Chains A and B, each alone.
Chain A
Amino acid sequence: MSDEVEHGSDGAWSPKVVAFVCNWCTYTGADLAGTSRLQMAPNVRVIRLTCSSRVNPLFIIKAFERGADGVVVSGCHTGDCHYSTGNYYARRRFAILHDLLEFMGVETDRVTFSWVSASEGNKWQEVVNETTARIKELGPFRTLQGQKGVEL
């Protein structure tokens, strides 16, 4: 992903959102949203992982570093994890990450955690649209990249 600021067809800045989703629930739910032809903002790039607990906080940090304006992390509802307990561990990890990012000056609205099941196509649509709308309001991430290749 380049750090070039993207623009929508109307010329306005368009946020880049990266979504780390679990294969079994959210990815399937997102697929359902797609096959149901639900209207969704085109800003979310989906990255499929085996489980929400595969999400290393580094992924989120790296996404912001490399041009994301927002991040979504989504998995199965607790109790429904394909691997039984993955999302329980993930939930603890995300809680600390959420608090720390806030402390370090990242607006909490930029990082969205959600549980979206395989049948919740509508919920995925909401997550995508609402996240995109909120990040549009927040503006581009306070990126430390500056221009390409310039001394950081």
Chain B
Amino acid sequence: MKELQELARKLLNDGTVKVVIGYEEGTRGVRPAFITDAKQADKLIFDKRCVQNLAAYLNPRRKQVAQLGTPAVVVKGCDARAVAGLIREKQIERDKIVIIAMRCGGVLENPETDSELTSKTVSVRCGGCDVREPKLHDHLVGELPPEPPVNNHRVEQIEALKKLSSADRWSFWTNELSRCIRCHACREACPMCFCVQCTADKTQPQWIDPSATPRANRAWQTMRVLHQAGRCVDCLECERACPEHIPLGLLASYVADSVERRFDYVACEDPAVAAPLGVYKTDDDEEFIR
């Protein structure tokens, strides 16, 4: 952490950046920090409780952050993928941000209640992570911790769902989505949902009803996850933000698996690699097409 704090101090003092977006101790655990004063740099921390994806704050729509000036952002490998996504999709320019990548050993799914990384408490996305030393960075900081344990909870849930009948799966999702109040917290917290006008906000025509009805909720969640296909980095901010605790990660994960299986693509740190739905291969699989 000293290394991170010193780096932040230096970047602020020499004017390379105007704000360091990182993590700090909040009143209820770790929370995002916006350090504009080098003297406050020792507030920056990084540990297994740092579950938030700070790439969301780089979104140019967030005027209150953008107007602070050139940012440095503290990222884990998974977060770096989101930064790469924003660069890939021309939302931010690579040379207008400073990326401070942290070597990571996994994060807790529920940092407010858990303190040790076990196969039950670690985030479902950490097991088998291959970006523990993020490649997309201007600075690579910290010691490499041991590999995180593997939490199979989500994989097991998806397998269980796949085994159900179509009707039962339909009921499962109708039931889960019945809690959706269409607050769109999932969209706002997502680093890749940066559209100035979301499809769901379009009223002429109203493609997706804004009301929290079973049919509209289903349409909304289906569309959102489809728009994330090949772009979602599995940070699970959507699930964390949802005030109704809907297991949105299941949808995101399923689509990511589908993308990987069909197009051999996993959200990656290299902005030069094209997103899968923006390219094609002439021999793409079409067994599902008659």
Contact = CB atoms under 8 A, between A and B. Distances in A.
Indicate whether A and B are direct neighbours in the complex (CB within 8 Å).
yes
B282 interface: yes
Contacts of A142: 167, 170
A61 B216 CA distance: 10
A138 B83 CA distance: 45
B169 A99 contact: no
Interface string A69-98: 000000000110000010011011111111
Contacts of B3: none
Contacts of B213: 144, 152
Interface string B33-58: 00000000000000000000000000
For chain A, the bracket of interface size reads 35 or more
Contact of A113 (B171, B208, B290): B290
A93 B255 contact: no
B286 interface: yes
Interface of B: 161-162, 166-174, 199, 207-208, 213-216, 218-219, 222-223, 225-226, 229-230, 251, 254-255, 258-259, 262-263, 276-278, 280-282, 284-286, 288-290
Interface string A115-152: 10000000000010000000000000011110000001
A105 B174 CA distance: 9
Nearest to B214: A144
B207 A58 contact: yes
Contacts of B277: 89, 92-93, 96
B285 to A, nearest CB: 7
Interface of A: 57-58, 61-62, 65, 78-79, 85, 88-89, 91-108, 112-115, 127, 142-145, 152
17 contacts: A57-B222, A61-B219, A62-B207, A78-B286, A79-B282, A92-B276, A92-B284, A94-B288, A95-B258, A95-B284, A95-B285, A96-B255, A99-B254, A104-B169, A104-B251, A105-B166, A115-B290
B280 A99 contact: no
A96 B255 CA distance: 7
A57 B227 CA distance: 10
A95 B167 CA distance: 21
Contacts of B161: 103
Contacts of A92: 262-263, 276-277, 280, 284
